[in-house]
Amino acid sequence: MLIEIGALLFGLGMLGRVGRRFGLSPIPLYLLAGLAFGHGGLIPLSASEDFIGIGAQIGVILLLVMLGLEYSADELVGNLRAAAPAGLVDMLLNALPGAAFALLLGWDVKAALVLAGITWVSSSGVIAKVLGDLGRVGNRETPVILSVLVIEDLAMAFYLPIATAVLAGAGLLGGLSTLGVAVVTVVAVLVVAIRYGGTISRFMSVKDPEALLLSVFGLTLFVAGVAAELKVSEAVGAFLVGIALSGPVAHHATEMLSPLRDLFAAVFFVFFGLSTDPADMPPVLLPALGLAVLTMLTKVATGYFAARRAGIALPGRLRAGLALTPRGEFSVVIAGLAVASGVEPKLAPLATAYVLITVVTGPMLARLPDYAWFKNVIRRRMAAQRATAKPLPSID
């Protein structure tokens, strides 16, 4: 077991280094590693399967708690109010094509519900890295992008319980009851976070790094486990823990949990690849490519609409839309639920191929507005619009 785990982690480290050297997210490389060493792969892993399975669960929890630590409860509520119309457009433009695509393939309603979630949610992790790499954190369109991502993350708090109940065969009534529990839980946690977040944070001392790490990590695992027992999803429970923590505690917890997140998130993506037989990939590559092209266009339209509502000029609208195209961690989490429940066998390979396509091409598309020829095209378009309509802000 130690030999397999050690070799796997070392290999993932080398893959991550190669990916970053070429400006790529390491996520597709981790998925490919899982495909290579899973059942039907080159060298199947056997001794370390249990560790990788548990590590994958912890990876999901850490991804979500770290995302929650980025926002305070007040910021979350404020973003929800300001960007609600854009969030609704985002859902309609990106979830409905996924559901329709599944039904066109002849899959059942459960698979359609899962594929809708997979195509709906952008990858917060990949997008945040792209914005940082391209030096766009201070751009006018960046708060718009982040608002859309926050709404998607919050929507997952309600989507995941429904999907979990439906996949478990609970039916419509069971799904609605689970949703009711989820709504009550989420609202209760948000109220506690807004009113008593500072008090909760004061129970944890930033002066003792070891105690802080154990407290935050332990609390996150505990709440995630309780959430799973309530059928709310451990991922949502972890996200809400991150929201509840604030101030210096949140800042120091982010620094200490980051290495753990990177480790177990890599294991999670490998685990998803392990669950997919490479022999199942070729038949779904073409449908995955078609779905990726369609939903990347709808994401561009989403970002364009959201940035336009914020009064941002044409270049910023295009930057916002192109930045939102990658799918990643949440899409894999949703597909993982379907794999665990035994829904549509072709769903896992299709989701893997889909995420690979979007997560590789998305960062490349985000760079388009930086190329001179692209800027010239935008300048000509803006000049034509100025000649026939209201003046538009300068590209600079």
Positive or negative: CA dihedral 383, 385, 387, 391:
negative
Q: Tell me what pLDDT residue 380 has.
A: 79
pLDDT at 40: 61
Token pair belonging to 337: 């639920």
Taking phi first (over 0 means left), then psi (-120 to 50 degrees means alpha), and beta for anything else, what does residue 208 get? beta
Name which of 209-213, 240-244, 381-385 the model is least confident about.
Answer: 381-385
Tell if the pTM clears 0.85, that is, is over it: no
Q: What is the pLDDT of residue 75?
A: 66
According to DSSP H, which parts of the chain are helical?
2-21, 27-37, 49-69, 73-82, 84-104, 109-120, 124-133, 142-167, 171-202, 209-229, 234-244, 247-274, 282-309, 314-323, 329-341, 347-366, 372-388
Instruction: Dump pLDDT digits (tens) for 77-114.
Output: 666 677 788 889 999 999 999 999 999 999 988 889 99
The pLDDT tens digits of the residues spanning 111-144 come to: 899 999 999 999 876 787 778 777 887 788 888 8
- What is the pLDDT at residue 7? 87
Answer whether residue 290 shows pLDDT above 80. yes
Task: State the Cα–Cα distance between residues 252 and 247, nearest whole angstrom.
Answer: 9
Using only the alpha carbons of the chain, give its radius of gyration. 21
What pLDDT is attached to residue 293?
Answer: 96
Return the pLDDT at 324: 93
pLDDT band at 201 (very low <50, low <70, confident <90, very high): confident
Query: What's the CA gap between 332 and 116, in Å, rounded?
Result: 13
**For residues 285-294, average pLDDT:** 94
Distance between CA 360 and CA 350 in Å, rounded?
A: 15
pLDDT at 92: 94
Q: What is the pLDDT of residues 308-362, one digit of tens each?
A: 988 898 889 999 999 999 887 778 878 877 877 777 888 888 988 898 889 888 8
Averaged pLDDT for residues 252-275: 84
User: Quick one: pLDDT band at residue 76, thresholds 50, 70, 90?
Assistant: low
- pLDDT attached to residue 170: 62
Q: How confident is the model at residue 64, as a pLDDT?
A: 75
The per-residue pLDDT for 291 is: 95
DSSP string, 335-396: HHHHHHHT--TTHHHHHHHHHHHHHHHHHHHHTGGGSHHHHHHHHHHHHHHHHHSS------
Q: Does residue 232 carry a pLDDT above 70?
A: no
Q: Classify the C-alpha dihedral 187-182-122-377 as positive or negative.
A: negative
Chain segment 8-43, per-residue pLDDT in tens:
889 889 988 888 787 676 777 887 888 787 666 667
Tens digit of each residue's pLDDT (9 = 90 or more) over 36-71? 876 666 677 777 778 888 888 888 788 778 877 876
Q: List pLDDT tens digits, range 145-200.
A: 878 887 887 787 778 777 877 777 765 566 667 667 777 777 777 677 667 767 77
Predicted local confidence at residue 302, as pLDDT: 95
